[in-house]
Amino acid sequence: FSAVDVIRAKRDGFALSDAQIDWVIDAYTHGVVADEQMSALAMAIFFNGMTAAETARWTQAMISSGERLSLHVSRPTVDKHSTGGVGDKITLPLAPLVAACGAAVPQLSGRGLGHTGGTLDKLESIPGWRAALSTSEILDQLSSVGAVVCAATEGLAPADRKLYALRDVTGTVEAIPLIASSIMSKKIAEGAESLVLDVKVGSGAFMKDLASARTLAEALVAIGVEHGVRVSALLTDMSVPLGRAVGNAVEVAESVDVLRGGGPADVVELTVALAAEMLSLAGISADPAAVLASGEAYEVWARMIRAQGGDPDADLPVASHKHVVEAPASGVLSTLDAYAVGVAAWRLGAGRARKEDPVQAGAGVLCLAKPGDSVEAGQPLLELYTDTPDAVPAALSTLEGSFTIGGEVSSRPLVIDTIR
């Protein structure tokens, strides 16, 4: 094969053959196909798409570029993947909850980039907690605790790691077949028998409109089915931040509240909805709302954190500086834009602009009111936390126009639809 022939075929609107796909992924992984050639191919895919068969094969080729874990544990294995949002800490209460209900939950996660936070960054605000585990540590913890949230091991879908970094700098992230194969190659390589996808839609999500979120969800589910994984997708709202806390340590604290039977209603609702779907795919009959209320999920959380060197009882880091945004008028808060809050938290230091940047554990935004709440003029609406007060003006300018007092409150439900 020649890379130029493969690029021309896709440029001219043809479907790639299985052999072409296998070759180009393998050759790219090994440096035989150059970055500039792969970026031309990714751009041709962006414009001309891939068929369901091509996408399935592309995914398979990326899985085959590395190892596929075999999770030999006695319980059914089930995982969740979110396409990313603002205040999306759901993995933190969800993994221990589903484990407390009898499943084994391997959650190999990533770090945040841009305005969406990363699960590992959040957990790393817990003193002592360690994200990097070996495959044997992952398997041991799955058996002993039932839940593990850690960094994806180097050997999982290395082709995707290389391709995703390339897409990031060539304007080719936003192609549904490439997004779907990227996500599913990592999740299938991780080896869980069942997978629930939380496909977010709204300003704080990758997919801003319902039609494109639905197309992505359908593509993800189709790849899972093709690979023998029991899979479904929830389409969920991401026009408003999830819960009140957006950041790292503040999101851990909110997750612990949920695990202790409290916490914001939307976080509890989505945690329970995703748990119910995961348990249904795993063939376990349990009542996740009751298990959450019983405190058993908190017990699994504490064991999960300890197993990775963390102290679940330690005080969490607090930012040195706080700035309050007050409500400018009285009335019902009708909107609070997830994207703006996500960018503000990022600017305050909760997120990173480049992969190698550090994040601040204590930085973030607390949303003291959510759409539907009545507020009085002068009441604190948002609290901004940072160790770098110089960042506050930029965060404040991002937040200008990010909320409305008075007007219609959206009636869109949190869980918009389920795709099976």
* Residue 205 contacts ligand URA per CB under 6 A: no
Among 186, 214, 230, 352, the one annotated catalytic: 186
Q: Which residue number, 87 or 310, has a Cβ lying nearer to ligand URA?
A: 87
Among 81, 162, 187, 370, the one annotated catalytic: 81
Least distance CB 311 / ligand URA (angstroms): 31
**Residues 30 to 69 in contact with ligand URA, rule: CB under 6 A:** none
- 81 a catalytic residue: yes
* Residue 183 contacts ligand URA per CB under 6 A: yes
| β-bridge mates for residue 104, sequence order | 77
Backbone angles phi, psi at 177, to 5 degrees: -60, -35
**Helix, strand or coil, per DSSP, at residue 375:** strand
Q: Which long-range contacts (CB under 8 A, 24 or more apart) does 163-171 make?
A: 163/28, 163/38, 163/42, 163/62, 166/35, 166/38, 166/39, 166/42, 167/39, 167/42, 168/113, 170/39, 170/42, 170/43, 171/43, 171/46
Q: Which residue number, 161 or 347, has a Cβ lying nearer to ligand URA?
A: 161
Query: What are 42's two structure tokens?
Result: 């990714």
Stretch that binds ligand URA, among 60-68, 115-123, 175-183, 351-359 (CB under 6 A): 175-183
d(CA 365, CA 323): 10
Cα distances (angstroms) measured from residue 249 to each of 36, 252, 319: 40, 5, 9
* Residue 325 contacts ligand URA per CB under 6 A: no
Query: What are 325's two structure tokens?
Result: 């945004």
Number of residues that bind ligand URA (CB under 6 A): 6
Least distance CB 175 / ligand URA (angstroms): 8
**Residues 95 to 154 in contact with ligand URA, rule: CB under 6 A:** none
Identified binder of ligand URA from the candidate list 182, 194, 239, 360, rule CB under 6 A: 182
Q: Which residue number, 184 or 365, has a Cβ lying nearer to ligand URA?
A: 184
Among 88, 160, 257, 266, the one annotated catalytic: 160
* Alpha-carbon dihedral sign for residues 312, 315, 318, 320: negative
* Residue 164 contacts ligand URA per CB under 6 A: yes
Dihedral (Cα; 149, 150, 156, 159), 10-degree rounding: 110
d(CA 387, CA 362): 7
Least Cα distance to 362 among 348, 347, 352 occurs for 348
Stretch that binds ligand URA, among 55-63, 179-187, 234-242, 265-273 (CB under 6 A): 179-187
- 160 a catalytic residue: yes
Q: Which residue number, 46 or 164, has a Cβ lying nearer to ligand URA?
A: 164
- 182 a catalytic residue: yes
Pair 72, 187: CB distance under 8 Å:
no
Identified binder of ligand URA from the candidate list 179, 213, 366, 405, rule CB under 6 A: 179
Amino acid identity, position 107 = Q
Beta carbons within 8 Å of 257's beta carbon, 6+ residues apart: 263
**Residues 206 to 245 in contact with ligand URA, rule: CB under 6 A:** none
Q: Count of CB atoms within 10 A of residue 252's CB?
A: 25
Q: Which residue number, 177 or 317, has a Cβ lying nearer to ligand URA?
A: 177
Least distance CB 33 / ligand URA (angstroms): 19
Beta carbons within 8 Å of 255's beta carbon, 6+ residues apart: 89, 92, 93, 263, 267
Stretch that binds ligand URA, among 95-103, 178-186, 359-367, 384-392 (CB under 6 A): 178-186
**Helix, strand or coil, per DSSP, at residue 390:** helix
Among 89, 161, 167, 214, the one annotated catalytic: 167
Place of tokens 């204590």: 362
Least Cα distance to 197 among 187, 189, 205, 207 occurs for 187
- 167 a catalytic residue: yes
Among 182, 194, 203, 255, the one annotated catalytic: 182
- 311 a catalytic residue: no
- Given its phi and psi angles, is residue 114 left (phi above 0), alpha (psi -120 to 50 degrees) or beta? left
Stretch that binds ligand URA, among 11-19, 71-79, 176-184, 265-273 (CB under 6 A): 176-184
Q: Which residue number, 42 or 366, has a Cβ lying nearer to ligand URA?
A: 42
Q: Which residue number, 352 or 370, has a Cβ lying nearer to ligand URA?
A: 352
* Residue 172 contacts ligand URA per CB under 6 A: no
Q: Which residue number, 20 or 82, has a Cβ lying nearer to ligand URA?
A: 82
Least distance CB 206 / ligand URA (angstroms): 6
Residues at the interface with ligand URA (CB under 6 A)? 164, 173, 178-179, 182-183
The residues that are catalytic are 81, 160, 167, 182, 186
